[in-house]
């Protein structure tokens, strides 16, 4: 059973999603939230496979920043993947949001009928958006930083940098991704495709 949580500031749209997913025998909504959770994440988030999230939780720029902050919190503290449900249609905006939230997919709200298919694709590792977003994240790093990241994550790669240089590069990676600590990288990249293949494709 795929367990999902909905984070959306529009209660009517939450009801619409819940109703849509109620008929799916392999998908269960285990919680819904209408605003940012500022304290400790509720227990449901640590059980969820995926969080369906509206990036703009309270309108305007502040609402978008709120959504990004909460998505980063979810991704760095839990094993749940993020599916952005958005009203924005500009490709640049959607990709930017995907990078900022470390999402595994995105779906326009007007296309919510395809939600169950998208959920299954993400959990099966078949969502092309996930590869697209992960590749965009890796492009933020230098070639050397990619290999230091992969070494940190346990990939069998060789780097010739000194320990001090690696430490500086890790600090740079954490800063570029807007994270608090290197350990956040484990949960975030755990759910993404094989980085060695993507890094080779990027050159």
Domain boundaries in the chain? 2-126, 136-202
Mean pLDDT value across the chain: 89
Residue 137 confidence (pLDDT) above 70: yes
Q: What is the DSSP secondary structure assignment for residue 9, as one 8-state letter?
A: S
pLDDT tens for 21-44 read 999 999 999 999 998 888 899 999
Which stretch of DSSP H or E encloses residue 58? Answer: none
Instruction: Give dist(CA 138, CA 64) in Å, integer.
Output: 23
Rounded average pLDDT over 44-48: 97
**Percent of the chain predicted with pLDDT > 90:** 67
Rounded average pLDDT over 132-160: 92
Rounded average pLDDT over 118-144: 93
pLDDT tens for 59-80 read 555 556 778 889 999 999 999 9
| Sign of the torsion formed by the C-alpha atoms of 158, 166, 133 and 130 | positive
pLDDT tens for 141-154 read 999 999 999 999 99
Q: Which residue has the tokens 């470390």?
A: 102
User: What dihedral angle (degrees, nearest 10) is formed by the CA atoms of 9, 12, 14, 19?
Assistant: 180
Q: Name the strands in the sheet holding 50-53, side by side, starting at the edge strand that comes first in the sequence.
A: 27-33, 2-7, 50-53, 81-86, 105-108
Structure tokens at 149: 């990241």
Q: Which residue has the tokens 């050397």?
A: 144
Instruction: Give dist(CA 27, CA 123) in Å, integer.
Output: 11
Please state which of the four CATH numbers 3.40.50.2300, 3.40.50.1970, 3.40.190.10, 1.10.1740.10 is assigned to the domain occupying 2-126. Answer: 3.40.50.2300
Q: Where are the alpha helices (DSSP H) in 78-127?
A: 91-101, 115-124
Q: What is the pLDDT of residue 119?
A: 97
């Amino acid at each position: 059973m795929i367990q999902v949580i909905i984070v959306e500031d529009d209660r009517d749209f939450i009801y619409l999603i819940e109703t849509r997913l109620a008929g799916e025998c392999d998908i269960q909504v285990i919680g819904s939230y209408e605003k940012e959770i500022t304290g400790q994440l509720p227990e449901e988030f640590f059980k969820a496979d995926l969080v369906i999230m509206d990036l703009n939780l309270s309108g305007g720029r502040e609402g978008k920043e709120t959504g990004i902050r909460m998505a980063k919190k979810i991704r760095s503290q839990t094993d749940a993947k993020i599916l952005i449900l958005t009203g924005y249609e500009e490709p640049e905006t959607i990709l930017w949001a995907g990078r900022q939230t470390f999402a595994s997919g995105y779906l326009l709200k007007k296309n919510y009928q395809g939600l169950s298919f998208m959920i299954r694709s993400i959990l099966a590792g078949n969502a092309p958006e996930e590869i697209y977003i992960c590749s965009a994240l890796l492009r933020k790093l230098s070639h050397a930083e990619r290999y230091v990241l992969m070494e940190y994550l346990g990939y069998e790669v060789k780097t010739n940098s000194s320990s001090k240089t690696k430490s500086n590069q890790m600090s740079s990676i954490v800063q570029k991704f807007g994270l608090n600590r290197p350990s956040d990288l484990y949960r975030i990249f755990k759910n993404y495709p094989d980085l060695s293949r993507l890094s080779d494709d990027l050159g």
